[in-house]
Amino acid sequence: MEHLYAPWRAAYFSARSEGCVFCAISQNPQADYDNQVLYRDEHCFVVMNRYPYTPGHFMVIPHHHIDALEGLGSATWHRMAIRAQQGTRLLKEHFGAHGVNLGMNLGPSAGAGIAEHLHLHLVPRFERDTNFITTVSQARVNGVAFEAIYDRLLEGVKAHFEPVD
């Protein structure tokens, strides 16, 4: 059996802190820029993934600490779906993505890295991208600084995310 390594994720495994990282972000709106929060409303927030699969990868996360989709309130799930639609439009129209993968890993057995607080991933995809080379090699291709991507998406949020009644 061959072993593939992902050394850029070492900080993810060693950076575990007390409590839920998503709850800490949810409860500290004054630190939104430092935490790369793109948008928040009363049900959920949109935040950059610090260990992205591709540039522009972000997540929609409910404020409510819950690990089971089936236990999530319908109003929150509906709001998350709206933010996913708006986020998809943002990635395509403002960020230039050719496609978007949406996904949730529900529970550790499903691959969730932070299983205690559910979250929905939006992963932009580009024709001829090489960012999934990490599945077959020890390389990560990322041509733009994380902070520059955050700033670009944050600017686009103003045009693509609308309040919901």
Judged by DSSP in three states, 114 sits in coil
136 exposed, middle or buried (CB, 10 Å; 0-12, 13-18, 19+)?
A: exposed
Residue 78 appears among annotated catalytic residues: no
Angle at 80 between CA 79 and CA 81, to 5 degrees: 90
Q: Which residue type does 10 have?
A: A
Choosing from 43, 57, 117, 119, the catalytic residue is 119
Question: What is the identity of the amino acid at 134?
Answer: T
The CA distance from 90 to 76, in Å, is 21
The packing angle between helices 74-89 and 146-160, to 10°, is 110
> What amino acid positions are annotated as catalytic residues?
119
